[in-house]
Amino acid sequence: INMYVEPPNLIATNASKNFISKKFLNNATSLAIKVKEVPIKAYNLISKVKRYYAVIRYAFKIITSKLETTTLPKH
């Protein structure tokens, strides 16, 4: 869940011209982000991740808001 707090360490993309351009790769490298090209057939898996991202993010917001309002006992 910590991956939503900071920029990603790895971006998986298809081999389209937008993602293999030197400008994109240089910008990603300057932010310490690795770019990995994924074959087109495996790219469908990325769309599944995108589909569930909103649901996971929503659950994360609910959990963190409940943790902020709950006081934890001291050990």
The model's pLDDT over 22-61, given as tens digits with 9 standing for 90+, comes to 888 888 888 888 888 877 665 566 666 677 777 778 888 8
More confident residue, 12 or 4: 12
Q: For 32, left (φ over 0), alpha (ψ -120 to 50), or beta? A: left
Q: How far is residue 54 from each of residues 2, 16, 44, 61, measured CA to CA in Å?
A: 15, 24, 17, 11
For 8-17, how does the pLDDT look when each residue is reduced to its tens digit (9 = 90+)? 788 888 777 6
pLDDT of residue 2: 52
Contact between 35 and 19 (Cβ < 8 Å)? yes
pLDDT of residue 21: 81
